[in-house]
Amino acid sequence: MTRRTTLITGATQGMGRGLALDLAARGGTVLLHGRDPVRLGKVAAEVRAAAPDTTIRTYLADLADLDQVYAMADRIRAAEPRLDGVINNAVAGGGTEPLRREVSRQGHELRFAVNHLAPYALTRALLPLLTASAPARVVNVASIGQEAIDFDNLMLERDYEGLRAYCRSKLALIMATFHLAAELAGTGVTVNTLHPAHLMDTDGVRAYGLTPVIGIEEGVRPTVRLLLDPDLATTTGRYFDRFTDTRAHTQAYDIAARERLMQLTHTLIDGETDVRQPEARRSGGGFGEQPPSGPPGRR
């Protein structure tokens, strides 16, 4: 039986650390991403101690810098013989100063950059390895907190507020999930997204002044299910509220809005305006149709 290789972004704390410990206990190879070398080393040591028979490798990158995102993807493609799964878990939350607008290395609004641009750019850059390893799965960790994107104020240069930026970035991630799933139909690579759990016991929840109500293991379980459940082997382009296949925000199913977002996304990540013909270093593919909307559900 083939030993699975899975990449987890944002693995140094919170749910990412929980995912690392869970997947390492199952064997195979687990690739841990972080932006702080000290914290990344500590988590890697902890995971190795907990699962000594599992191969653990680390990849360092600040997802607020697209150059580092692409450099990490290059290193992964060069070093890893296969990649069976990617969990885009890293997140920039609402922030400790909600009214202070921050930007990425490329000057993009920080939450939009880390929560949407980085996972989309990373996934596209890893598509050659994912498709060569198919069947493979991409799981994008989103949120039930979603707010419609204002294309005339995409980077929230007006009326900035951290939670608003977070909610818009998570909807962008969901829209990108649907787009990429349609594009990859028939390749053996599935792409799904989920709200893992509400108010988990994480630093990000506390930093925004909220009170955690459940442990991170409650978010780990539905996330690992999307990655490993054989009953979901062909499920793609779906949004889950924990274990329930449901509807995301209405804008996620607006094809014109999704096309506009993806055109803007490609312009921002690599200057490419035609999403059907990305640069050679990224894997190609065409626009797919709108994914099935799923059963009615809350936003």
Q: Residue holding tokens 């804008």?
A: 251
Beta carbons of 29 and 3 less than 8 angstroms apart: yes
* Residue 138 backbone phi and psi in degrees, to 5: -115, 130
Beta carbons of 152 and 127 less than 8 angstroms apart: no
In whole angstroms, give the CA distance from residue 24 to residue 18. 10
Q: Which residues contact 209 (CB under 8 A, 6 or more apart)?
A: none
> What positions carry a catalytic annotation?
166
